[in-house]
Amino acid sequence: MATVTKPIVHTLKFQKRMAMEILRVGQRHVWLNPEKKHEIAKARTRAAIRDLIATNVIQLKPGLRGKRGKLDSIKVATNPIVQRINLNYKQAHSSWGAAQE
């Protein structure tokens, strides 16, 4: 019989939870780049997750979040990691930055 190899499935729950704690947001507001799954799966420390955030492999989804929009804008104003991510996103998508300002 021929052996069938199963594809390796990476569960990124740990990395997503760590990113949520670092960014101080909820689960639905963290985006993990699906093209970089293997790189994200290797990250096992806070420092490694911070590096992935700095290189935009893990990002904060932009925009207001319902009724908590004002609180989220305060989080952005006080969290330097979130500020850097949003600035990078605004620069990459200039139409989003113009609509929000």
- The type of residue at 6 is K
User: What is the distance between the alpha carbons of residues 13 and 9, in angstroms, rounded to a whole number?
Assistant: 12
What percentage of the chain exceeds 70 in pLDDT? 61
Low-confidence winner among 52-56, 75-79, 92-96 (lowest mean pLDDT): 92-96
> What pLDDT band is residue 32 in, cutting at 50, 70 and 90?
very high
Whole-prediction pTM value? 0.57
Three-state secondary structure call for residue 101: coil
The pLDDT of residue 97 is above 50: no
The per-residue pLDDT for range 59-93, each reduced to its tens digit, is 888 765 555 555 566 666 677 777 777 677 677 76
Residue 92 φ then ψ, to 5°: -75, -35
Q: Which of 5-9, 89-93, 96-100 has the lowest mean pLDDT?
A: 96-100
Contact 62, 97 (CB under 8 A): no
Among the listed residues 69, 63, 53, 54, the one whose alpha carbon sits nearest the alpha carbon of residue 29: 63
The pLDDT confidence band at residue 7, using thresholds 50, 70 and 90, is low
CB 61 within 8 A of CB 54: no
